[in-house]
Amino acid sequence: MRVLRRGLLATTICLAVSVFLSAGVSHAKKGGSKIKVEVEAELEPCGAVAAATSPCAPSGTPPESDAEGKAEHKKETHKGVIKKDEFKGKVKIPVDPASALGIVDEDAAEGADIRLILSHADGPGSFTDFAECRLAFDEIEEEDDDDEVQAEYKVDVRIKKGAVQAKKGVCHINLATTAELGVPDARAGDLVTATLITGGTRTDFLQGTFDLD
């Protein structure tokens, strides 16, 4: 029932955002109003939240139950001109000698290939990947309330004065080519999956759905 509710919620939000954007564009042509859209996603371990048809494994033990993450997209236009467009993502993974993801020490953490895969919801249980971000290793963080040590990865890309700026990591917005860097146009209802790439093998370990902020 939880998966069904999430699917219905994502569909409802998608429709609401579509109506909002259509109305906003129409109004902008007449009155020059600003259009501002902000969406964010909290990433949870795959086995806990994934739909059966999503890229994440829907059952069994999550690859890393203590990993966590979030992603957000903020976009603002005025009279059809983009004034602000930025995408940020962050993932934290425990550094542990027994890590199922292979993040066993600081060297392994620094060399890990962590990515965020963004997917549009085409319909019930159907998704199409449209962007991929490679996160940059940021730091080793020690939690204050326990002895856990976490590796933190980030991506921060934006458009400023018409040019793409990659402050942390990079994002590819056209998966048919490796050359088109930019800011992913994440919308409410889109899926975001954190994955580890090892020798060409993809291991999904976190997933979330973008909601209106």
Q: What is the pLDDT of residues 13-25, one digit of tens each?
A: 333 333 333 333 3
DSSP state of 144: S
Calpha distance 99→66 (Å, rounded): 10
Q: What is the pLDDT of residues 179-209, one digit of tens each?
A: 789 999 999 999 999 999 999 899 999 999 9
**Beta-strand (E) ranges in the chain?**
34-45, 68-78, 81-94, 113-123, 126-134, 136-142, 149-160, 163-168, 170-172, 191-198, 201-209, 211-212
Rounded average pLDDT over 132-142 = 95
Calpha distance 79→159 (Å, rounded): 17
Rounded average pLDDT over 80-89 = 93
Q: Report residue 147 CA to chain centroid gap.
A: 28
Calpha distance 160→98 (Å, rounded): 42
Q: How would residue 161 be classed by pLDDT, with cut points 50, 70 and 90?
A: confident
Residue-level pLDDT at 167: 96
- pLDDT of 64 > 80? The answer is yes
Among 54-58, 69-73, 87-91, 93-97, which stretch is predicted with the lowest mean pLDDT? 54-58
Residue-level pLDDT at 133: 98
Q: Considering only residues 125 and 75, tell me which one the structure prediction assigns the higher pLDDT.
A: 75
Report whether 118 contacts 88 (CB < 8 A): no
Average predicted confidence (pLDDT) for the chain: 81
Residue 1 CB-density burial (10 A; 0-12 exposed, 13-18 middle, 19+ buried): exposed
Q: Dihedrals φ, ψ of 131, to 5°?
A: -155, 155
Residue 146 CB-density burial (10 A; 0-12 exposed, 13-18 middle, 19+ buried): exposed
- Element (H or E) spanning 6, and its range? helix 2-31
Q: Dihedrals φ, ψ of 72, to 5°?
A: -150, 150
Candidates 79, 83, 85; CA nearest to 159 is 85
DSSP state of 67: -
Among 14-18, 46-50, 71-75, which stretch is predicted with the lowest mean pLDDT? 14-18
